[in-house]
Structure 1
Amino acid sequence: MKLGIVFALISAGLFGASTPLAKLLLGAVDPWMMAGLLYLGAGAGLAAVHLSRAALRLPAVEAPLRQTDLPWLALVILAGGVLGPLLLMFGLARTDGASASLLLNLEGVATMAIAWIAFRENVDRRLLLGALAILAGAALLSWQGRATLDLGTVLIAGACLCWGIDNNLTRKLSSADPVQIAMLKGLIAGTINLVIALGHGAAFPSAGAVAAAAVVGFFGYGVSLALFVLALRHLGTARTGAYFSLAPFVGAVRRPEGDRGILARRHLHLGLALCRL
């Protein structure tokens, strides 16, 4: 179990760091194009790892994907590889990076809720209380003194819902090779998003921007996903989602100002503490 916690925390750290970095690149890259480049970077990097293992003739330690896994993989790619990053990129374009990073706590809440309601996974009282505290903190961060939420917040919440679905469906594949899962997800989802972006007239960015997005995607989406799959084996979906809720704090590079920001952070820290017990 301790090994699963380590996998989940490293996965969270890598993904959390990718959010503000992607935000920096959005000034020069179309959101749809960015979603494609991030996942293509993840897929291409892991493909290199996969081919290196074969070239060195290293013994296989993981079971390959089976034909019966393909429908689950297709749903994972659609929810987590196409819709999730697309909604996040458009949400980031309308929200500052720190607040967006903290709003990604909703992914952990969505993961736990779906695991409990749809897949009947055991979720104890501490996890539920933690999820409610996280949700309260995210709501405080997103409220700007208006009765309605801004579009950027709604889009990021939609991305978190997609990834919550993705995380639960990925549990069905967790016995297979995590590198192969993340590689296929990256290559297929990245290609789909890139084709759509070009079809909508998005300009192809500079070589420097492409390289930067590829590196962010490899670590923040590819390596992170492979480690997340390994964590699922040891911890289950709900508890892995709880540990993964640390990701937004890595991406929140500055503190929100004022009493509302301080109170929101207290809610988020309380929620994470309860989930980690």
Structure 2
Amino acid sequence: MTHRWQGIAYALLSAALFGASTPLAKALLGDITPWMLAGLLYLASGVGLAVLHTVRRLWAGPSSEAPLTLRDLPWLVAVIAAGGITGPILLMVGLSTTPASTASLLLNLEGLFTLGIAWVVFRENVDRRIALGAAAILAGALLLSWSGGPEGIGWGALAIAGACLAWGIDNNLTRKLSSADPLQIAMLKGAVAGTVNVILAWSIGGTLPSAGAFLAAAVVGFLGYGVSLTLFVLALRHLGSARTGAYFSLAPFAGATVAILAFGEPVTTRFVVAAALMGVGLYLHLIERHEHEHRHEPMDHEHRHVHDEHHQHEHEGWEGPEPHSHPHRHRPLVHTHRHDPDIHHRHTH
């Protein structure tokens, strides 16, 4: 499987897990306050991934992924602050005064902000086919979340929009870390953000739920947030922010499908039309072919790799198994091949 198809698989699975977590988390709101639930979901993802990280080291030895370094710390702090703390707090503030119909529509702004920041700020390439595909996916997401609104636009709606902006910034900043171990990134983000949010929820009167609800929240958080974020980071490594964000916008469809299969919600005309729109958007992204002559500038970095056409470096006295991770230098290279804005193709157009 090529890097591109690996990235697409990671992004779609990430969207499916996160989308499925939404109706499952909603079912827990009767037993857990919204802010406490947000904290528990993040905290469970961090703790669960820490256990997985430990088991992986004990079972398979040192990871072939590049570890986070002190140079990554500012980016990691910014990611946690934007996506793990600011986003959830603004969302809880907004939900307290905003009708559910409006909130559902506004949450789709995360995809728009992710795409917009990637294209405008980070200059990721986009052609007409990618733009139309992203528009079709987002239109399907909007249609799925429409429930007779919008109504009650006010400060609460602005807070929700601010949360989506925070997550859009988070998604693009995480791209800066995507060459490092995705499990480590998701583990630290979940542990720190979850701890902060649980403490804040407790400080305003929140209480821990029953053992059954706590366990259910832990499972949903580990899969829907922890594993999903790990896969999202892997997708960023191969696809860049804009394309990963577009694929991730399919999450509402996964959530609606789970609601139909698990909770007996009816299959509506709106669901069928939204599925068709998202299918068209997905197809346009899958058939993209971006190819031109481009130049790789000299670059020093570390990440998990094999010795493909972009990694023809020498090892001094050691030839380890592949894939492996170590600091390496990319020499200048000019060539032509199909590519996405991955960690080696972030050139301008």
Task: State if a TM-score over 0.5 links the two structures.
Answer: yes
In the alignment of these two chains, the number of paired residues is 274
Q: Give runs of ≥4 in structure 1 deviating > 6 Å.
A: 90-93, 150-153, 255-262
Q: 1:219: which partner in 2? A: 223
Going from structure 1 to structure 2, the CA distance change for 1:154 and 1:216 (only over 3 Å counts) comes to farther
Aligned-residue offset at 1:87: 4.5
Measure the CA separation in 1 of the matches of 2:167 and 2:150: 27
Structure 1 residue 261, shift from structure 2 partner: 6.8
Q: Give the C-alpha shift of residue 29 in structure 1.
A: 0.7
> What stretches of structure 2 of length at least 5 have no aligned partner?
288-349
Equivalent residue in structure 2 for 1:172, among 176, 181, 185: 176
> Counterparts of 1:66-105 in structure 2 under 5 Å?
66-88=69-91, 94-95=99-100, 100=104, 104-105=107-108
CA shift, 1:70, in A, is 0.9
In 2, Cα distance between equivalents of 1:26 and 1:147: 23
- Which of 164, 173, 176 in structure 2 is aligned with 1:160? 164
Deviations 1:79-112 (A, max 9, x none): 211233344566678527xx94x86544332211
Q: 1:276 to 1:174 in 2, by over 3 A?
A: same
What's the counterpart of residue 309 of structure 2?
none
Which position in structure 1 is the counterpart of 2:284? Answer: 274
Q: Determine the structure 2 residue equivalent to 1:17.
A: 20
Per-residue deviation, 1:128? 1.9
Partner Cα separation in structure 2 for residue 90 and residue 195 of structure 1: 16
Match of 2:329 in 1: none
Q: For the Cα contact (< 8 Å) 1:106–1:134, is it kept in 2?
A: no
Seq. identity, % = 62
Specify every segment of 5 or more residues in structure 1 that has no aligned partner in the other structure, as ranges: none
- Distance (Å, rounded) in 2 between the aligned partners of 1:26 and 1:191: 19
- Of residues 132-141 and 31-40 in structure 1, the stretch that sits farther from structure 2 once superposed is 132-141
Q: Whose helix proportion is higher, 1 or 2? A: 1
User: What's the C-alpha RMSD, in Å, of the aligned pairs?
Assistant: 3.0
1:26 and 2:29 correspond: yes
Instruction: Decide whether the 8 Å contact of 1:11 with 1:228 is kept in 2.
Output: yes
Match of 1:59 among 56, 59, 62: 62
Larger Rg: 2
- Higher mean alpha-carbon deviation, 139-148 vs 13-22, is at 139-148
**1:190–1:146 Cα change, 3 Å:** closer
The answer on 1:244 being equivalent to 2:248 is yes
2:120 alignment counterpart = 117
CA drift of 1:237 comes to 1.2
2:293 corresponds in structure 1 to none
Q: Quick one: higher RCO (CA 8 Å, sep 6+), 1 or 2? A: 1
Greater share of strand residues, 1 or 2? 2
